[in-house]
Structure 1
């Protein structure tokens, strides 16, 4: 297949490299020093098993994806709408769109622009970071859960999941993909914003009593909003959110990586979405709302320092 990686940062570059290794024609869209390094030296991916060198197609022009069979959307949620509008003008009408992004609001934006029948959601489980421009470090196991947004696209979603699995990715299909995304979203909201605000790893949050107490309050609030929206979470799932986080205790969350690298954080897609939904539902999420306003201030302050 011809596969486009729209946003070849840590996650996009890693999964793109696996697909390239499997024999697919992969085009990586990136920018800045990361793109420059890949153009000059190729893409290097370090993992627990190997060091992989990828000499693929590296570009900053979305038009390079015009002939893609499927495009993996890996840009930050802040850029989803603009990215989708740019791609809409260049992609074939039968190109599939698969979002590997954080949050649970990107699907709606993409579906409004491309239509529900060609947009597919994916819950992404991977620990990856840009070690330096052109070099990705990936640790531990990785997997993808793929699903359709409407029942008429079921067969296509199953085909996408099968293609990913055949390429060496532990991938499976789910017809309740937004429920899967919500479970991952709960984890992200519990740890990402707090880690970015405090510049703390997942392990720091688990080990420091005050931070853990805050995380537990955040977790309870986001679960309450999800349940009000109609998602049911088992007691087993709730009880194992923090024990399961032990597997990622040395992990720097994506939001923390963005802050440390001077990039805009996904504040609106993570914290902001819960705050907005809670207001629509006449609910109170005081801990999440506090972290939301702290992060907005920190981002504004950090960006001023870089100017």
Structure 2
């Protein structure tokens, strides 16, 4: 099996290192000092589960890699639309694209029976540009339950969580999902193949939609937000509105808000990926988290005043960041 990791950042390099440890032919596509460090010394993973070093091939040129069986997409969702030229050299007729993204994926309504089947979420797939780069028939969803960070170039700090749930938009248990899952498990990770990955999407989103923008606006860790009574109540309100939208599009996350809050609190003094991006001066991945759910609220008639307010101020923050870049 041949796998390319496009966007070998904190999550991508962690997955690539684990797959390489399992004996998979892995090619990391990265850039800058991170790429140079990997070429020189490999990927060092520092984890409470045990440190290790892997030495997969690394490059900034996908044409060096050629067609692969699976592309693990570690890019932020706001880079998907522009990823076509990087993806194209990696594809053969049956290549899958396993997109490890937060928020609502571009494939969400693909093959989903019901009143919204085939609906394109404009805030996620503006003008169909993401679908053009990442054709729907190649899409395999992936919901990440792992916290990682690039501690320094070539060094990945793994804090907690090893589950990478995957699944077809159709819910079918396909051979391509089974093959990738087996390799991930052989590398020491959990990779269940779900028949209803959309439920996982919403469970993860219940946390991301609240903690990610609030962490950026308040410069706070997940535990810090949970400790503050007012912020905790704000999170609870955002989660309640999010569950309402999920149910209106036919998915019940099936988890209580209090349980979801406790799960987030266990992450401790962890900085969300949005806060990490803010501190690095990078644009924030907010469209798939907040804008998408507000759009779905408009589609279904849900009342989401808290989500709208947080979206407005976090979008303003992001606009200021983009201008500064």
TM-score after normalising by structure 1: 0.91
1:152 is displaced (CA, Å) by: 5.5
Q: CA RMSD in A?
A: 2.1
Distance of 1:281 and 1:9 partners within structure 2: 36
Structure 2 counterpart of 1:102:
102
Distance of 2:172 and 2:245 partners within structure 1: 29
Change beyond 3 A, Cα 1:278–1:65:
farther
Structure 1 counterpart of 2:61:
61
Distance of 1:66 and 1:244 partners within structure 2: 40
Change beyond 3 A, Cα 1:131–1:150:
same
The runs of 4+ residues in structure 1 deviating greater than 6 Å are none
Distance of 1:207 and 1:152 partners within structure 2: 41
Deviates more, 1:11-20 or 1:96-105: 96-105
Change beyond 3 A, Cα 1:80–1:122:
same
**Does residue 246 of structure 1 match 2:265?**
yes
**Does residue 143 of structure 1 match 2:163?**
yes
Structure 1 counterpart of 2:17:
17
Deviates more, 1:183-192 or 1:278-287: 278-287
SS at match of 1:283: coil
1:252 is displaced (CA, Å) by: 0.8
1:90 is displaced (CA, Å) by: 4.5
1:304 is displaced (CA, Å) by: 4.4
**Could you report, residue by residue, the CA deviation over 1:256-282 in whole angstroms, capped at 9, with x for unpaired residues?**
111111111101111111111112223
Contact 2:62 2:86 in 1 (8 A): yes
Distance of 1:155 and 1:111 partners within structure 2: 23
Structure 2 counterpart of 1:78:
78
Deviates more, 1:140-149 or 1:204-213: 140-149
**Does residue 281 of structure 1 match 2:300?**
yes
Deviates more, 1:192-201 or 1:42-51: 42-51
Distance of 1:122 and 1:212 partners within structure 2: 28
Distance of 1:136 and 1:159 partners within structure 2: 25
**Could you report, residue by residue, the CA deviation over 1:74-131 in whole angstroms, capped at 9, with x for unpaired residues?**
1001011221454135411211211111112233566665544432111111010111
Distance of 1:297 and 1:166 partners within structure 2: 44
Distance of 1:118 and 1:301 partners within structure 2: 35
Distance of 2:312 and 2:134 partners within structure 1: 33
TM-score after normalising by structure 2: 0.87
Gaps of 5+ in 1: none
Distance of 1:101 and 1:159 partners within structure 2: 20
Q: 5 Å matches for 1:246-265?
A: 246-265=265-284
Structure 1 counterpart of 2:225:
205
Distance of 2:240 and 2:171 partners within structure 1: 31
Distance of 1:223 and 1:239 partners within structure 2: 13
1:21 is displaced (CA, Å) by: 1.1
Distance of 2:31 and 2:247 partners within structure 1: 39
- Please point out which of 177, 180, 187 is paired with 2:207: 187
**Does residue 169 of structure 1 match 2:189?**
yes
Distance of 1:169 and 1:240 partners within structure 2: 24
Change beyond 3 A, Cα 1:237–1:119:
same
User: How many corresponding residue pairs?
Assistant: 305
Gaps of 5+ in 2: 109-124
